Structure 1
């Protein structure tokens, strides 16, 4: 494995190690602060708002540092602060100390994600799918951490889960430092924040809109499952996990779509799909339907967010740190607006449905201005292909090339199979594996097989089985058609 490939692998591993615990923390923190520390709703709101505020303020500083110093070390420092934040939550005796942990987490998140995304952007010219692969790694880390956290919280309590998060962040820091110090180019002649911000301005509105919709609709969904459907913590997590798995499985496939139809079409279609999810959520009759809708929404976000990141990185040019700092600030601003609005508008009597409708309208409006925004930023509609090394022509035998191309869909299917088997094994350990129950359990009627088993995790396992069967049939069927069409 070459040095550049090792750097990319370390970037993705660090992203997975950090993203999973952070998402679990966001999910657990309000519940733990209320139940474990006896904090009031106002104190819990202040705790989450403090971390958001600190992260927002530090992001521009992180961008400037990432353009001046080694980005791997900046990301490692952020991961260390992340780990100290988790340790603070795990050891705090009261809500007062938790505020200190929130400050560390906000600063750590700004340093880690800005520097890491800037570092990933360095390789965008050689691999236009760099941000898609990073997004997939974050998705994989998220669903693995959720499965582990939900399974362990009853045995080691919230504090034990937080200690595991601290350990994962320490591993992320070590991963970022593994390659040694990188060569740092001076940013004296690089554009300043104001110049980069003006160039990115047309895209920033779309970034704010996307993150606002994602965060707001996710919070509405979470509160509706808890208060409208009266689900417990584990049941709520099982509704979210299939969508997180989609985050990790689809980005590579969707990047291929970007190469065929262009960035603006993918962004417009993704925002339209997100709008459809937001509108359909208000009419979903049960958690199983909501889980399916969340999968579709996850697919839309898996298409849109890597494209946004790639566009920002290309537009930022040599000022990758500043560009990613501005991008992360816009993301955080949108998430803050979205969650605040969702919290204000939710009520079980039906007003939250108007919030869903409003999010859908905003997303549809955004899909109409995507093309103009991307063109004004000044990047190409299609990702640039990797540079061709003309020094080594490497004449290859003709029969070898088609065979190497055929391995790609099978490699993807192999990854999907591994994820499927690992996920079903975890479900089986908790007694919620649908294929195990179907093959080795008691006899069941057709309603159990096709509609509902009476347990949400079992139903989600069934949906995943159906998706995997369709993926298998599609992959092998396409390969068979190619072989039949090949001239002999």
Structure 2
């Protein structure tokens, strides 16, 4: 039964990550536009708001790491989700930029508590599932693209504040999910402290900061170039980014099999080289369609690299998983802040744009050469550690093979069979969708029927507002069903277990 409890807790971790990551990414995308256009904030005030949240998060993350090593990590992460949700509420009701600063403080503190404690909680399961961080990263990617689809299709009729309320609701659900299963007890004796961990993992933390710097810088360069260089609107920009987010949700678990065969340093090096090619390619300013394809390739590279970095840090942490994840999150945040700042400063002119693109590429190429030394100095294995045998397994001395205990295997299999099958869920979802749309069609409010047989509509009807609220709900539902069906089909095609 321990394995069943562990699997259930892993699913809860991934659900909480998806519920929180998506709204957070949407907020980062919409907040500068909203405070500038609707609250009348100046560029300096927008920058100060973003910087305040970053500063609070940076200060709180080491504290969150210590808390995660002293108290139950699920409850710490749940408290972070509550603060995250409160920040969305304050954004939704704020009358001006002054109160928005309070929301930034809440969001910075909540994000630090949530992500540090959650990643430490996921690190507890590395002994039984060496692909735990890949699965977590996939859940974050799935939550991100679903949140973007919902937010950008709903924003025209519920406005920015309505989207913030949806984000608050998602964080509330995450806060309820997490504390339901207690984390493993934390042993303080012999656990390394923050300074000891920082000194031991310095090479790897530098690599983490470099990766985050490149990812944030390249993403901001792409965003600004689509908005200013190609004059795209909000929905069109999101359409370029969403395929990359879908890749985040599809590939990490599959790529972990490649990590087991090729090794961590080789995968990290190849991922950085692929990202460098994308960064350099940006400087040639191709069309948005080509940029979308290039971003998908870059997203695949980050989907391979980031879970490996997290797993390396977790394995090097020993008993101090919380403190290690606090340091990791701080390094990633520092790198992302520097990368975004430099990209913004350099994007002013054609020469600066090219310098930024090639500078990011040069950083990534340099990182690809120092990966092996960084991983070796941290002292973790080149290949992921094989999962430990559970109580339901035993070793046959004659053959050296691991055999399943019939009673243990039967209980685990029975419990696993109770879990939702993706293809069966898809069939149920499609059936409910068809029945609901049939009923709505008889009432005259079926969006797919109107889109297919209702005559010509302008682009705004398809992407922003379709009129009646039932039509708008049908539009969101249709988009989610289509993309989620493609996501499920992609996972089925890529479902490959080389181990």
**Same fold, judged at TM 0.5 (above):** yes
- Counterpart in the other structure of 2:318: 317
- Counterpart in the other structure of 2:33: 31
TM-score (norm 1): 0.83
Instruction: Indicate if the aligned counterparts of 1:59 and 1:114 stay in contact, CA closer than 8 A.
Output: yes
Between stretches 339-348 and 54-63, larger displacement belongs to: 339-348
1:354 Cα offset (Å): 1.6
1:166 correspondence with 2:168: yes
Measured in 2, the distance between the counterparts of 1:468 and 1:228 equals 31
- Counterpart in the other structure of 1:209: 210
Q: Would the alpha carbon gap of residues 419 and 229 (structure 1) be closer, same or farther in structure 2, given more than 3 Å must change? A: farther
1:276-334 CA distances to partner (integer Å, 9 max, x unpaired)? 11011121421100000000000000000000000000001110001000000000000
The Cα RMSD (Å) is 3.5
1:2-31 CA distances to partner (integer Å, 9 max, x unpaired)? 111111000000000000000000000000
Measured in 2, the distance between the counterparts of 1:416 and 1:277 equals 34
Q: Would the alpha carbon gap of residues 357 and 69 (structure 1) be closer, same or farther in structure 2, given more than 3 Å must change? A: same
1:205 Cα offset (Å): 1.0
Mapping 1:144-163, distance limit 5 Å: 144-163=146-165
Q: Would the alpha carbon gap of residues 146 and 90 (structure 1) be closer, same or farther in structure 2, given more than 3 Å must change? A: same
1:392-424 CA distances to partner (integer Å, 9 max, x unpaired)? 73389xxxxxxxxxxxxxx999999999999xx
1:127-161 CA distances to partner (integer Å, 9 max, x unpaired)? 00000000000000000000000000001000000
- Counterpart in the other structure of 1:402: none
- Counterpart in the other structure of 1:59: 61
1:99 to 98, 101, 104: 101
Measured in 1, the distance between the counterparts of 2:422 and 2:274 equals 24
- Counterpart in the other structure of 1:125: 127
Instruction: Indicate if the aligned counterparts of 1:288 and 1:456 stay in contact, CA closer than 8 A.
Output: no
Instruction: Indicate if the aligned counterparts of 1:268 and 1:368 stay in contact, CA closer than 8 A.
Output: yes
Measured in 1, the distance between the counterparts of 2:349 and 2:119 equals 39
Structure 1 stretches of 5 or more lacking a match?
Answer: 397-410, 423-428, 443-454, 480-488
SS at structure 1 position matched to 2:319: coil
- Counterpart in the other structure of 1:233: 234
Mapping 1:336-485, distance limit 5 Å: 336-347=337-348, 349-389=350-390, 390-391=393-394, 393-394=403-404
SS at structure 2 position matched to 1:68: coil
Measured in 1, the distance between the counterparts of 2:199 and 2:377 equals 11
Measured in 2, the distance between the counterparts of 1:430 and 1:6 equals 37
Measured in 2, the distance between the counterparts of 1:236 and 1:168 equals 24
Measured in 1, the distance between the counterparts of 2:306 and 2:423 equals 23
Instruction: Indicate if the aligned counterparts of 1:15 and 1:138 stay in contact, CA closer than 8 A.
Output: yes
1:87 to 75, 86, 89: 89
SS at structure 1 position matched to 2:201: helix
- Counterpart in the other structure of 2:468: none
Measured in 2, the distance between the counterparts of 1:349 and 1:355 equals 10
TM-score (norm 2): 0.81
- Counterpart in the other structure of 2:118: 116
Instruction: Indicate if the aligned counterparts of 1:203 and 1:374 stay in contact, CA closer than 8 A.
Output: yes
- Counterpart in the other structure of 1:248: 249
Instruction: Indicate if the aligned counterparts of 2:250 and 2:491 stay in contact, CA closer than 8 A.
Output: no
Measured in 2, the distance between the counterparts of 1:294 and 1:420 equals 30
Measured in 2, the distance between the counterparts of 1:110 and 1:326 equals 11
- Counterpart in the other structure of 2:180: 178
Measured in 1, the distance between the counterparts of 2:377 and 2:144 equals 34
1:350-383 CA distances to partner (integer Å, 9 max, x unpaired)? 4212200110011001100101110010000000
Instruction: Indicate if the aligned counterparts of 2:66 and 2:322 stay in contact, CA closer than 8 A.
Output: yes
- Counterpart in the other structure of 2:266: 265
1:184 Cα offset (Å): 3.1
2:17 to 4, 15, 18: 15
- Counterpart in the other structure of 2:398: none
Q: Would the alpha carbon gap of residues 369 and 84 (structure 1) be closer, same or farther in structure 2, given more than 3 Å must change? A: same
Measured in 1, the distance between the counterparts of 2:290 and 2:369 equals 28
Measured in 1, the distance between the counterparts of 2:108 and 2:297 equals 30
Measured in 2, the distance between the counterparts of 1:359 and 1:419 equals 43
Measured in 2, the distance between the counterparts of 1:97 and 1:248 equals 35
Measured in 1, the distance between the counterparts of 2:126 and 2:13 equals 13
Mapping 1:272-287, distance limit 5 Å: 272-287=273-288
Mapping 1:296-307, distance limit 5 Å: 296-307=297-308
Instruction: Indicate if the aligned counterparts of 2:16 and 2:178 stay in contact, CA closer than 8 A.
Output: yes
SS at structure 1 position matched to 2:126: coil
- Counterpart in the other structure of 1:400: none
Measured in 2, the distance between the counterparts of 1:262 and 1:38 equals 51
Measured in 2, the distance between the counterparts of 1:167 and 1:468 equals 24
Instruction: Indicate if the aligned counterparts of 1:275 and 1:360 stay in contact, CA closer than 8 A.
Output: yes
Q: Would the alpha carbon gap of residues 418 and 297 (structure 1) be closer, same or farther in structure 2, given more than 3 Å must change? A: farther
1:183 Cα offset (Å): 5.2
1:186 Cα offset (Å): 3.6
Instruction: Indicate if the aligned counterparts of 1:224 and 1:348 stay in contact, CA closer than 8 A.
Output: no
Q: Would the alpha carbon gap of residues 197 and 417 (structure 1) be closer, same or farther in structure 2, given more than 3 Å must change? A: farther
